[in-house]
């Protein structure tokens, strides 16, 4: 029996709904979903395994114009994922307000099949959807166009069928038991970052990094220690909050999600550290996994 396998890259501007789509396709809460833009910094791979096929989804960072070292490395990940993709899903919000020309440039240069996914169609009219489809036909002439609502799981099945049909014949790339190539520590940091994105104003999340310093698995409980890095004392104070209130809140919400994710009781300790200007310091970027 022949087996299909391939890499599917999901790309698009921040907040177009890439992570929501990926989670709908993978059927597991894989990458973080927050109402704030630009949260997925790493290429998170969600893997769908069936007897006859394996789809490796890669959720790229939102395409942005790089401003500092960290973003340069993020855009590197976007370019890489366009090169090794068997299928590219370009997710665009139907009411797109961002300039997408930088993404379109990248897509015109690629040899991989491109599928345009017009997302959030539940927030629109049928006429507008039809007009958008025509627009993308002229603009990109992609291999296929789907109008969907990732949030309401509308038409996501059709996208999945298209992917399966167009996957190349290939043995599986990953062991069939693996759901994702990221380890548990990674998801713990993602969950904590998601809470920080949700609970704090703009400047805090973007100058924060979370690393797990200890992960002890005991029979009844996992003991996890985490360091949250910020760039300035003022950010540290905001993060901790009056009398530690804010940090406590992050811990409570995060612990609940981590326990659900690990299916186990968790003791979570969090410490806040100031490292001035870490986003431009190579050794820290390396330590946080941004530089290969």
Binding-site residue positions for GTP: 12-19, 59-63, 119-122
Angle formed at CA 273 by CA 270 and CA 275, multiple of 5 degrees: 150
Phi and psi dihedrals of 239, rounded to 5?
-60, -40
In eight-state DSSP terms, residue 169 is B
Element holding 270 (H helix, E strand): strand 265-274
b/e string for 215-233 if b means 16 or more Cβ within 10 A? eeeeeeebebebbbbbbee
| Closest of 53, 50, 56, 55 to residue 4, by C-alpha | 53
Residues placed in the known binding site: 12-19, 59-63, 119-122
Using DSSP bridges, classify how beta strands 221-230 and 209-217 pair: parallel, antiparallel or unpaired: antiparallel
User: 10: exposed, middle or buried (C-beta count within 10 Å: 0-12, 13-18, 19+)?
Assistant: buried
């Amino acid at each position: 029996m022949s087996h299909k396998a391939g890499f599917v890259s999901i790309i698009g501007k921040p907040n177009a709904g890439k992570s929501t789509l990926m989670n709908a396709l993978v059927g597991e809460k894989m990458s973080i979903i927050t109402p704030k833009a630009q949260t997925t910094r790493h290429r998170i791979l969600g893997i769908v395994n069936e007897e006859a096929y394996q789809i490796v989804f890669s959720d790229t960072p939102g395409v942005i114009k790089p401003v500092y070292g960290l973003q340069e490395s993020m855009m590197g990940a976007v370019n890489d994922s366009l090169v090794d993709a068997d299928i590219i899903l370009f997710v665009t919000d139907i009411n797109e307000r961002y300039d997408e020309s930088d993404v379109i440039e990248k897509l015109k240069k690629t040899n991989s099949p491109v599928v345009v996914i017009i997302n959030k169609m539940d927030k629109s009219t049928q006429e507008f959807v039809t007009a958008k489809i025509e627009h993308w036909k002229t603009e990109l002439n992609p291999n296929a166009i789907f109008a969907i609502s990732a949030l309401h799981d509308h038409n996501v099945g059709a996208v999945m069928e298209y992917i399966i049909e167009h996957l190349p014949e290939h043995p599986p790339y990953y062991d069939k038991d693996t759901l994702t190539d990221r380890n548990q520590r990674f998801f713990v940091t993602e969950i904590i970052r998601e809470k920080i994105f949700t609970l704090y104003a703009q400047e805090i999340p973007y100058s924060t990094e979370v690393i797990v310093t200890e992960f002890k698995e005991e029979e009844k409980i996992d003991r996890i220690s985490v360091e949250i890095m910020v760039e300035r004392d003022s950010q540290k104070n905001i993060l901790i909050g009056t009398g530690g209130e804010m940090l406590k809140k992050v811990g409570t919400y995060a612990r609940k999600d981590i326990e659900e994710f690990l299916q186990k009781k968790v003791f979570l300790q969090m410490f806040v550290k100031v490292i001035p200007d870490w986003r431009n310091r190579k050794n820290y970027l390396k330590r946080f996994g941004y530089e290969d």
